Amino acid sequence: MAPRLDTSWLMSDEGIEAARLMDRWFGSDVWGQIISDADSGDPDSMELMQQVSDQLTSLVWHLNNKSNEARLSYEVEWFDKLCDDFGVA
């Protein structure tokens, strides 16, 4: 059986803001275009998708293992920078 996800951080103000950030990124036209480009075989898009997957895996690992808020914030900052780099508001 999979470990139970600790949702206390997710329900905090910072966790709620992190969820909004993820919604912005994964709901963006930019992400849609990256998916489309990857489906067409674009290696840069495929690499970025792998990086996003790796980062999500790391974030979930830290949530499952009850890492401290500083570490969770560090993981989320990657997505904040990604949104900034691609102009996702």
What's the pTM value of the predicted model, to 2 decimals?
A: 0.82
pLDDT of residue 38: 98
pLDDT at 12: 74
Contact residues for 19 (Cβ-Cβ < 8 A; gap 6+): 10
84's tokens: 């900034």
Instruction: Write down the residue that tokens 């139970």 correspond to.
Output: 4
Q: Quick one: pLDDT at residue 64?
A: 87
Give the model confidence (pLDDT) of 1-53 as tens digits. Answer: 555 655 666 677 888 898 999 999 999 999 999 999 999 999 999 999 999 99
Decide: 5 and 62 in contact? Cβ < 8 Å.
no
